[in-house]
Amino acid sequence: MLSALRRTATTGAFRHVAVPARTQALRFSAVRFVSTRYTTDHEWVAFDSNTNIGTVGITDYAQKALGDVVFVELPAHGSEIAQGDSIGAVESVKAASDIYAPVSGIIDEINETLADQPGLLNKAPQGDGWLCKVKLSDPAEFEALLNADAYKAHCEGA
């Protein structure tokens, strides 16, 4: 291919051949530190230290204990919550259970998909079945929650 271009260039068919200049791409890697902690009431928080946002949900242990979830009541966007407050409820074919705020802060987002698909709590309680996102007012509350090993020990002792 290059020899064909050279021949064409020498015969005058092309006066200028544009060759893309080599550019050096700068690569930036954004390091995100997300850590998950748990409560003894079977809620979890995945905290993103870059944004100060914690994603809140119920654990797999909780969804199994509840059974098939049929309704989810969530807090209002923008509402201020305190650690330990009831911020909503989950109703299943077996029972209804309050959701307690694992951390204090302001509700930044709610998972509106749960209104139409409450079963997401059963299918992916620590994935697409998250409940709300909270802008933490005191990240130290998050640090005081149970790590995965402590939560596992709590569940095994229950």
Higher pLDDT, 57 or 11: 57
| Residue 3, H or E segment | helix 2-11
**What pLDDT was estimated at residue 33?**
82
* DSSP assignments along 113-127, one per residue: HHHH-TTHHHH-TTT
In a domain, 43, yes or no: yes
In a domain, 37, yes or no: yes
158 — pLDDT class (breaks 50, 70, 90): low
In a domain, 126, yes or no: yes
* DSSP assignments along 48-91, one per residue: ETTTTEEEEEE-HHHHHHH-SEEEEE-PPTT-EE-TT-EEEEEE
Read off φ and ψ for residue 139, nearest 5 degrees: -60, -20
**What pLDDT was estimated at residue 130?**
98
**What pLDDT was estimated at residue 134?**
99
**What pLDDT was estimated at residue 5?**
39
Encode pLDDT of 17-70 as tens digits: 454 555 454 555 556 688 999 999 999 999 999 999 999 999 999 999 999 999
In a domain, 24, yes or no: no
In a domain, 19, yes or no: no
Distant-in-sequence, close-in-space partners of 133: CB < 8 Å, separation ≥ 6: 53, 54, 55, 56, 107, 108, 109, 110
Distant-in-sequence, close-in-space partners of 49: CB < 8 Å, separation ≥ 6: 33, 34, 35, 139
* Residue 129 domain boundaries: 32-157
In a domain, 27, yes or no: no
> Side by side, which strands form the sheet with 96-100?
69-73, 86-92, 96-100
**pLDDT surpassing 90 at residue 109:** yes
Encode pLDDT of 77-89 as tens digits: 999 999 999 999 9
pTM, rounded to two decimals: 0.79
Higher pLDDT, 77 or 5: 77
Encode pLDDT of 130-154 as tens digits: 999 999 999 999 999 999 999 999 9
| Residue 4, H or E segment | helix 2-11
Count how many domains the chain has: 1
> Does residue 90 contact residue 72 with C-beta atoms inside 8 Å?
yes
Distances (CA, A) of 67 to 7, 61, 71, 121: 75, 10, 12, 10
In a domain, 21, yes or no: no
In a domain, 11, yes or no: no
> Does residue 111 contact residue 121 with C-beta atoms inside 8 Å?
no
Task: Give the CATH number of the domain where residue 55 resides.
Answer: 2.40.50.100
